[in-house]
Structure 1
Amino acid sequence: MTAPYYDVDARPILRAGGEPFSAIMAAVNALAPGQSLRLLATFKPIPLFQVLGNLGFEASAREIGAGDWEVIFTPVGGEPDAAAASEPGKAGSADEIWPEPVAEIDNRDLEPPEPMVKTLEGLEALSPGQTLAALLPREPVFLFEELEARGHRWRGALEPEGHYRVVIRRG
């Protein structure tokens, strides 16, 4: 018999303007072996697919109405899929070598949508394969969607100081 889902409803946190990442990661750490995580969110959390994919989870998402999403993260065991690691938006394997960023921009003091606009402008100035690092005031969910649509790859993390640092490789 499989364990029931471990439920995380991030919608109240998101609607209050908060960041649910730490609550989600705490839930991941509390999972029983083989147990899946069920996440409820106010948007399709594409960046989280990458993060949990790197931890060995497969995502299954469906819209449940009113713009809300249910995502089931199921452990798949073994190493992350090498083919998936080469897709746009995927971080790739930990041993993959990326070039040092050509530039680093600090967008932490800008109001939306300026952090995304400035980051995309900086990225457009690069040649394919070059990287750009950007400091952002929060996890750039809409930027990730745009990067994926444009065929770029990224790696990012919430820094201990509370801002988000993303390194983007131009596709």
Structure 2
Amino acid sequence: MAADMVNGSGEKAGGPPEWLSQALDCLPMDVRPLLLEGIDPFAAVMEAVAGIEFGGFLVIDAPFNPSPLRRILAARGFSSYGRKLNAGQWRVFFHLDGGEDWESDAEVDVGPEGAMSWREEDGVHIDVRKLAPPNPMLAILRLIESVGPHEVVVVHHEREPHFLIPELAERGWRIARTSSEVVNVRLWLERMS
């Protein structure tokens, strides 16, 4: 089984962390069935996290690399290591070790509306899922006004934000690309040329 492996910072890793061999024995928490039912697994994952003692592990199977979750847990002291097992399955290993194997500058900012934002190779990401309207739109508009002239903004949303499109156009932005997964619609926003 060929696998793409990435460390906590989302970069290709030179090799797995030493602690991974201990985590391989853990039974994975498969969140894919919850997502297929349209249920956000965040509460279930956080409930599982609450029961982990220092030095413990959590293994999650998801249909995609759960970058926002990895960043949230990094802030709580978890290192993580992910493997793409196939087109619809990622296995991410979490180790409560103080976040030793996490990129030190990989931080999540939380805006006034409650949106989380962070920087990855493909741009500035913002997660507006679970925010009540109009907070997703307000958070996205605030972010696009603060980024550099050539920055791409990647929005993580629960649905296609139709009311956002004219607001973006008014500010000289457009949706360049869209990717839809269950309860995770991603939009890549760029400035118009």
Distance 1:79 1:125, change over 3 A: same
The corresponding residue for 1:41 is 62
Gaps of 5+ in 1: 93-97, 129-135, 151-171
Q: Is the 8 A contact 2:79 2:99 kept in 1?
A: no
SS at match of 1:73: strand
29, 34, 46: which one aligns with 2:50? 29
Q: Which has the larger share of helix?
A: 1
The corresponding residue for 2:146 is 126
Aligned length: 121
SS at match of 1:125: helix
Larger Rg: 2
Q: Is the 8 A contact 2:74 2:99 kept in 1?
A: no
Q: Report the TM-score, using the length of structure 1 for normalisation.
A: 0.53
Over the matched positions of the two proteins, sequence identity in percent amounts to 32
Shift of 1:137: 5.8
Q: Which has the larger share of strand?
A: 2
Q: Is the 8 A contact 1:61 1:72 kept in 2?
A: yes
Q: Partners of 2:64 and 2:58 in 1: how far apart? A: 17
Report Cα offsets for 1:54-86 as digits up to 9, x if no partner. Answer: 1111110111113210000012237897x623x
Gaps of 5+ in 2: 1-21, 114-127, 149-156, 160-182
Q: Is the 8 A contact 1:61 1:69 kept in 2?
A: yes
The corresponding residue for 1:142 is 186
Report Cα offsets for 1:89-137 as digits up to 9, x if no partner. Answer: x227xxxxx9978xxx9x7458xxxx57x75454222366xxxxxxx76
Q: Partners of 2:76 and 2:185 in 1: how far apart? A: 19
Please tell me the root mean square deviation across aligned C-alpha atoms, in Å.
Answer: 4.1
